[in-house]
Amino acid sequence: LLMQWLRTLLYPRMKSKASKAGHEWQAFAVAQSEPLLRFALCSGSHSDPAVRVYTPKRLFQQLEAAKEEFIRATVGVWREQKILLPKLVEAYAKDVKLSSQGLVDMVQRYLPESLRTAMQRCQQQGGGRSSKIIEWVPYNLNFRYLIARDLAFPHLS
């Protein structure tokens, strides 16, 4: 049921001739797909983004900030040979039709200098072939709710 609900939120309304039974969530579906929603939805799995509050006025900026925070928290480089990216980032890249190099470039923009340098060395050792140096970290279904810092400690924001 949860996956059906998430699918309904992530993908645009589908015009279907199927019966209305089982499609009660369709009323809550977005009219148009928004890939950034992937960084806003948390089902309680370890691999999910942090729980945070979004406001209508600044929604797009908040979704972009959630993407940046998620990438900073989850991307890694292993021995300057592999760039470790979570499967959620892979799904986002597919949604926005990013090439392997476009994905690496996007990820690098959000990282601190030390990690960015390690990624560049990794690319040089991989002969510049981004698709060969990316390793997808499997989705971890273990339970965890990560609360965004500004929600947990509002007085520090």
Question: How high is the pLDDT of residue 28?
Answer: 57
User: Which residues are paired to 136 by β-bridges?
Assistant: 85
Q: What is the DSSP letter of 147?
A: B
Which residue, 52, 50, 137, is CA-closest to 91?
A: 137
Q: What are phi and psi of 54, to 5 degrees?
A: -115, 150
Distant-in-sequence, close-in-space partners of 141: CB < 8 Å, separation ≥ 6: 45, 46, 47
pTM of this structure: 0.75
SS3 136: strand
SS3 76: strand
Q: What is the mean pLDDT of each run of 10 residues along the chain (157 residues)?
A: 62 53 59 87 90 89 95 93 95 95 95 93 81 90 82 66
Decide if 66 contacts 52 (C-beta within 8 A): yes
